[in-house]
Amino acid sequence: RKRPPAPPPPQHTQPKRSKIDQPPQPDLSQSLKFTSQIELEKLIRAIMNNKALTPIQRNTTIQGLRDSVWKSNKSFCSGHVSDCAVIPPSHGAPVADLRRETPASSYFINDQQGKITRVWTRDLSSKEAAVPLFDASELAPTYHDGFNGAVLGCPHYARSCKLRHPGSGRLYTCRLCCEQERENPLKPQDSPLDRYSVKEIFCMRCGTLQPANSHCVNPQCDSTPFAKYFCGICNLYDDGANKNIYHCPFCNVCRSGKGLGIDYKHCMRCNACVSLADDEHHCIPQRLQATCPICSTCMFQSTEPLKGLKCGHVMHLSCFNMLYMRGHSYTCPLCKKSVEDMREYFAMLDTAVRMQPMPAAYQSTVSNIYCQDCCETGQVRYHFVGCKCPHCGSYNTRELGREQKNGDTFQQQT
């Protein structure tokens, strides 16, 4: 007799969930954001300016940042092809108007006759002129001394007014404050503040928006000037104590000092103001128009102190202290000449050469060298400490080649 077929094994099927019971799937495409080249450069500069990180940590952080941004942009473009096509890679995000709904307490403009006229106050308004609107952070006063609140201004300048951006209309205490906000990718991006195009300022004492001037035009406000120094060309206000500033008509910027012919002179070839006490000035055409060879930032309008090297090139004093004062190098990164008088250091190398004679295998080895200080060539005895120039005594030399010679037919190091 045939056995009956075995019943099929029971199938464990899960009940189908309804759309209500199914958990919502996160839309990853909405959380992704395209990072432009400008935003990536700002993040890299922020990492480079972090003094708490070591050079190895900075390189590792930047490498990880580039990798994550590349993967994020690739994932974004895979689902937003049309959006990636319209995003310009060389422009940042536009300036966002975050609750810009509060006007200034008063508004003055220049009429057709050139007279300053009040066109709006909180008690009296006029339909002839549109009143600009600002947010609360723009109208709030800022202080030069931080939380003490005794001196109006910003960390860069002491002043009692703000500059209105000629493009976006936002209020900044100074152009450097605008640059700081531009470096922060979390804040609205604005174009650089052109100091020469500023037409209106905001008084932080009475809250009046008015044409650029040395003092407030509101009769109800104190007639004290906004700052001790005012330049109508650069729109620079500075109320710093014991600070001398002058405007150079050739540089077309304001410089620190008493003035041309007093403690500074303008070198037409260098196109820069040079101290009268500098007797060893070396002219290099347009030397301040270039960038710093260390940090690659512009030096012509830099507010940081500059360091003039012995060869004539210039760099930031902070960059000089960071690279040279730590003993990393003593040559100019542009021309390779010694940056300072190195006679004491070269004397120490002379002592090291005398105390460490070369082995017998190298007694007849000579080096053909090129001196990077005096630009002369010569032939000296080879030594692993360094090859001393027979003309100027500098160890800032470059070895061109080696050869074997017998006897003392070459110039020996002393």
Tokens for 228? 């001790």
pLDDT-based confidence at 389, cuts 50/70/90?
very high
What pLDDT is stored for residue 189 in this prediction?
Answer: 75
Rounded CA-CA distance 368/199 in Å is: 64
Q: H/E element holding 229?
A: strand 229-231
- The predicted model gives 36-48 an average pLDDT of 79
Rounded CA-CA distance 69/81 in Å is: 17
What pLDDT is stored for residue 197 in this prediction?
Answer: 94
pLDDT tens-digit map of 102-111: 889 999 998 8
* Better-scored residue on pLDDT, 205 or 94: 205
What's the number of CA atoms in the CB half-sphere (13 Å) around residue 303? 10
Question: For 327, which DSSP code?
Answer: T
Looking at the whole model, is its pTM more than 0.75?
no
Q: Which of 217, 214, 215 is nearest to 234 (CA)?
A: 214
What pLDDT is stored for residue 413 in this prediction?
Answer: 47
pLDDT tens-digit map of 122-143: 776 555 568 899 988 899 999 9
Rounded CA-CA distance 37/88 in Å is: 9
Rounded CA-CA distance 162/171 in Å is: 6
Question: For all residues of the chain together, what is the average pLDDT?
Answer: 81
